[in-house]
């Protein structure tokens, strides 16, 4: 499991003064990109044009996030399949209260061949190292 801390921007607020629901998905995306860097997927894309395509994303909102402040995103591998994998996310406020819980699923895609591909063993191993563990 990894952790990413992001500053809440004023532009992410809605009419009612709390972080808009769309920003929660943006925070998950930031963690997802960080995961790609940590797991080697970013390098695999540059070298082989193989990378994940987002197939599904869901999020349960638990509590509002407020400005000013930070959002802390804890994330890790939730599952690995033959050609797919998913991440789990907890989004917390600066006091540690969970404000959102999400999960997604991605398919590993070969952009040269335009088809899904199996997760390589070295990637699967790294994903296991980055697995979701409750703290």
pLDDT in tens, the chain (135 residues): 999 999 999 999 999 999 999 999 999 999 999 999 999 999 999 999 999 999 999 999 999 999 999 999 999 999 999 999 999 999 999 999 999 999 999 999 999 999 999 999 999 999 999 999 854
Beta carbons within 8 Å of 66's beta carbon, 6+ residues apart:
8, 17, 18, 19, 93
Given this model, what pLDDT does residue 134 score? 59
3-class SS of residue 104: strand
Task: Tell me the CA distances in angstroms from 16 to 50, 66, 134, one per residue in order.
Answer: 41, 10, 32
Given this model, what pLDDT does residue 133 score? 81
Question: What are the structural domains, with CATH classification, of the chain?
Answer: 2-129 (3.10.129.10)
Beta carbons within 8 Å of 128's beta carbon, 6+ residues apart:
77, 80
Distance between CA atoms of 13 and 38, rounded to whole angstroms?
Answer: 30
Q: What is the largest CA-CA distance in the chain?
A: 47
Distance between CA atoms of 85 and 8, rounded to whole angstroms?
Answer: 28
């Amino acid at each position: 499991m990894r952790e990413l801390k992001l500053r809440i921007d004023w532009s992410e607020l809605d009419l009612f003064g709390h972080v808009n629901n769309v920003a929660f998905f943006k925070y998950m995306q930031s963690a997802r990109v960080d995961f790609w860097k940590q797991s080697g997927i970013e390098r695999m894309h540059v070298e082989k044009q193989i990378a994940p395509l987002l197939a599904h994303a869901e999020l349960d909102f638990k509590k509002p996030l407020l400005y000013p402040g930070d959002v802390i995103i804890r994330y890790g591998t939730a599952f690995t399949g033959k050609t797919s994998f998913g991440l789990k996310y907890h989004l917390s406020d600066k006091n540690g209260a969970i404000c959102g819980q999400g999960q997604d699923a991605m398919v590993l895609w070969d952009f040269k061949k335009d088809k899904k591909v199996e997760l390589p063993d070295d990637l699967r191993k790294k994903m296991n190292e980055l697995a979701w563990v409750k703290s």
